[in-house]
Chain A
Amino acid sequence: MKINENFVLRQIADTWVVLPLGDTTLDFNGMMTLNETGSFLWSILEKGCQQAELVNALLNEYDVTKEQAETDVEEFLNKLRNIDCLEEL
């Protein structure tokens, strides 16, 4: 899976914002923001990867249990799918 090319991540102060490219109206109400962990996963997904790689990356980088990492990754991917931000390869 991979981040759809029509989206970019931009850092505004201490928040990362998922921005749709193109000429659609930029809606601040529905804007998705990410924290540091989210932006970390995003950077991996930009290059394209498998779900298990994301879980491993979280385990290597943060002090979390495997179950917690799996739940977090699942939740994160679902949020991206909800805004059509993810391409399943």
Chain B
Amino acid sequence: MNNKRLTSIDEMIPLIEERIKNGGSVSFTPMGISMYPMLRHGIDNVVLSPAPEKLKKYDIPFYRRKNGRYVLHRVVKVTESYTCIGDNEYRYEQGIEHSQVIAVVTSFTRKGKEYSTENLGYKIYCRVWHYSRFPRRVLRAVKRVLRNIIKGKQK
């Protein structure tokens, strides 16, 4: 009669896989900061649905890494396999096979409002955020160097 939440992904996996396999969808709050600013750790909600035969660029698959870890990251390149990366990351993960994909994000809830992945504003966000990754990275490096210089002078 307690209301313990199932939060561990390992507990949720069998239920997610079963529901997706039967053509249904699941909704949960992902943990982690790798998809920030789109998804805030433990706050925003996503709906996962069965994946199409082939994912497209900017899709967000829920997939299982070969080391057994489950991840929700964005596709940024489609060849025979997929290259994925979190919106808050700078390191690409290559060679993700379609067979590793369990489901795909079809909508998400942010600040109480539900957005479809077909939403125009969302589509613009995906592209802007992806193409600004390099300048963002440079900016971050410059900031870090400046901070170190300032710290060095203060000593």
**A residues neighboring B (CB under 8 Å):** 10, 12-13, 15, 17, 19, 22-29, 31-35, 37-38, 41, 72, 75-76, 79
Contact count band on B: 20 to 34
Contact across chains for A32 and B3 when beta carbons are under 8 A apart: yes
Given A28-B12, A33-B6, A38 contacting B25 (CB threshold 8 A): no
B2 contacts chain A at the CB level, 8 A cutoff: yes
Minimum distance in angstroms from A33 CB to a CB of chain B: 5
In the complex, A31→B29 CA distance in Å? 12
26 A-B residue pairings within 8 Å (CB atoms): A12-B6, A12-B11, A12-B15, A15-B6, A15-B11, A22-B24, A25-B24, A25-B25, A25-B27, A25-B47, A26-B15, A26-B25, A26-B26, A27-B27, A28-B5, A28-B12, A28-B28, A29-B45, A31-B5, A32-B3, A33-B3, A33-B5, A33-B6, A34-B1, A34-B2, A41-B1
Given A25-B26, A28-B27, A12 contacting B2 (CB threshold 8 A): no
Interface residue from B15, B16, B29, B45 paired with A17 (Cβ < 8 Å):
B15
Contacts of B52 in A (CB 8 A): none
Contacts of A15 in B (CB 8 A): 4, 6, 11
B23 contacts chain A at the CB level, 8 A cutoff: yes
In the complex, A38→B23 CA distance in Å? 30
